[in-house]
Amino acid sequence: MTRVLVVGGGIGGLWTAVKAADGGFDVELVTKTELAETNTRYAQGGIAAALFPDDSADRHFADTLEAGAGLADPAAVRVLCDEGPARVRDLIRFGVEFDRGESGLERGLEAAHSRPRILHAGGDATGAAIESALVATVRRRAVRIAERTMLVDLVVEHGTVVGARLLDEHGSITEHRADAVVLATGGSGCLYRHTTNPAVATGDGGAAAWRAGAQVADLEFTQFHPTALAAPGTPLISEAVRGEGAVLRDRDGRRFMLDVHPDAELAPRDVVARAVWRTMAEQGGAPVLLDATALGARFLARRFPGLDAVVRGAGFDWSREPVPITPAAHYAMGGVVTDLDGRTSLPGLYAVGETARTGVHGANRLASNSLLEAAVFADRAARALVAGRAPAPTLSAGSGDLRRHAIRRPAHDGVSPESPDRADTSMSTVDRERLRELMWVRVGLERDAAGLAATSARLDAWRAPDVRDRRTAEDRNLLDLARLTVAAAIARHGSVGAHFRTDDPAEAASPAAPAASVAPELEAA
C-alpha cells in the first residue's frame, strides 16, 4: 500500500489526509502541537468563493489578479476561482455550518473584492469551524495521527524524497519512510516581532524543503495585516470589520485613508498597512485608531462574537470608543514552489496551503483567498497522489526563485544533532527575539538597501543551533528563512505589492517613514 506522510494539521494537511485515505493510501498525519492548534483555527475573515447569482468566477479571477500586483500566475488563479465553489460545497458536506440568513448563505465584503462573496461561520470563527469539521472528518478515517511531533528534515535518496526525520515530544528523532511527503506546515509569521500568527508558525516545511534542495520563491512578499489590536499578543481584528463599515483614524480623529486610496479602508492590504505604518510614524509611533462605534454594541456582539470578547477582554469598549491598532505580520505569499497539483521540484514531495507558493497570490494576497487556496490545491494534490507518482515537474518561479546557491550558508551552521563538531564557538547562536526584532524593523513593511545589507550581515554572523528539541529546531528554521527572505528582498530592487523599497526611485516622491521610529512604541504596546 502506498504510504503518504502529511506534515501539518491545518486545512491543507487535513484535506489531503482525508482525500488520500479515501483513495486507499496508508496515511500518517503529524502535527507539531495538538491537532487543532494551527493557523487555520485563527482565520477570522472567512473564505471567498463566487457562489452567488450576481458574482462569477471571472470577477473573482479579475479581483485576485489585480490584488496580486501583476505577479499572480493567471493559470493558478483560474484554477482557484473555477474550482473554489465546489470546494466550499465540500466543506459544507464535511460539516462546516456557514452563517445563514433568511435568504440562505450570508456573505460579506472585504478589501479589494468587487462583490460581497465572503462566507463566514460563527461570525468571526470561520477557521475554527473549518478546523473542527475537518478534524472530526479525519478522525473517522483510517489515518494514523501523531501529535506533538515536528518535522526536522526531509530524507532524500538519489534525488527523491523518501520520508522525513521527525522530532517527538520526548526529544527523540526518528526517520519515517513514505512514498510521498506532503508539507502543510503553514507560514512563517513568527519571523517578525509582531504577528497575528500562533507560536507554531515558524516556517518548518519551507526551511526543510529548501535544505533538501527544493525550489522556493517570493519570500520577500510577507503580508502585514493592517489591523491588529495594539495589546499584548497583537490579536487580529478581521478585515470584515472594515467591510461592515469601521474606519481608520489618526490620533486627532482624521480619517486618513480617504487621502490615500479611492477605496479608503477597503484598499488592498499592502496599501492600508503601509498607510497605518506611516501614520504611526508621523505620530511618534503611537497606534492609529479603528473606529467601529457606528456599528453599535448589538451588531458587534452578533456579527463578531469572538472579536467582541477579545477587544473587551483587553479593556476596550469598541462600541463606544475607537481602539488602538497596529500592523502585524500575517501571511506568507511565497514558499515552496509547486505546480497546479501541489508537486514540488523534488520527486516525492508535495506542498499545500501557506507552505506552498502556487502563484495565486502574486505580490499581495486578496483577502479570504488563503483558506480557499488550501482547499483547492490540497484537493488537487490528493487527486495527483491517487493518480500515481509522476516525475517532478519543471517549475518556473520567475525572478522570485531562490535556489540553494542563492544563499551563502555559513559552514558552521548546526544542521543536525549528529554534527556538534561543526559548531564554531566564535560565532554566537541565533537569538530568536533579536532576530524577530531585526526582521520587524529592517525587513518589515518598508525596506531599503542599507537596512537589508546590515540585516544580512547580522544574520550571517549568527549560527544555527544543533537540533535538540522543538525550540532549537524552530530557531534553525527561522534563521534559514530570515536569510532567504532578506536575500529575496535585496534581489528585488523595485517596489511591488507587499515588498516596498523606500530606495526605489519610483517611490522618491512619496516620503517614507523610517521603520526604526515605529518600533519602540510597538514594543511598548
| Known catalytic membership, residue 269 | yes
Closest CA to 11 of 94, 82, 97: 94
β pairing state of 288-291 and 323-332: antiparallel
- Which is the catalytic residue, given 269, 278, 365, 483? 269
Long-range Cβ contact pairs of 99-103 (< 8 A, separation 24 or more):
99/123
CB atoms within 10 A of CB 377: 30
| Spatial CB neighbours of 437, under 8 Å, sequence gap ≥ 6 | 193, 519, 523
Can you list the alpha helix ranges (DSSP code H) found in 444-518? Answer: 449-460, 470-491
CB atoms within 10 A of CB 393: 15
* Separation in Å, CA 311 to CA 228, 298, 308, 367: 11, 14, 5, 22
CA pair distance 475, 191, nearest whole angstrom: 10
Q: Is 513 helix (H, G, I), strand (E, B) or coil?
A: coil
The DSSP bridge partners found for residue 154 are 164
Contact 349, 212 (CB under 8 A): yes
Closest CA to 466 of 31, 32, 153: 153
| Spatial CB neighbours of 387, under 8 Å, sequence gap ≥ 6 | none
Q: Is 116 helix (H, G, I), strand (E, B) or coil?
A: coil
Largest CA distance in the chain: 68
For the chain, the first-to-last Cα distance in angstroms comes to: 53
Cell of 413: 551552521
Contact 489, 443 (CB under 8 A): yes
CA pair distance 242, 208, nearest whole angstrom: 37
Closest CA to 12 of 432, 404, 399, 378: 378
Closest CA to 261 of 47, 55, 510, 503: 510
Closest CA to 261 of 444, 67, 71: 67
Residues recognised as catalytic: 269
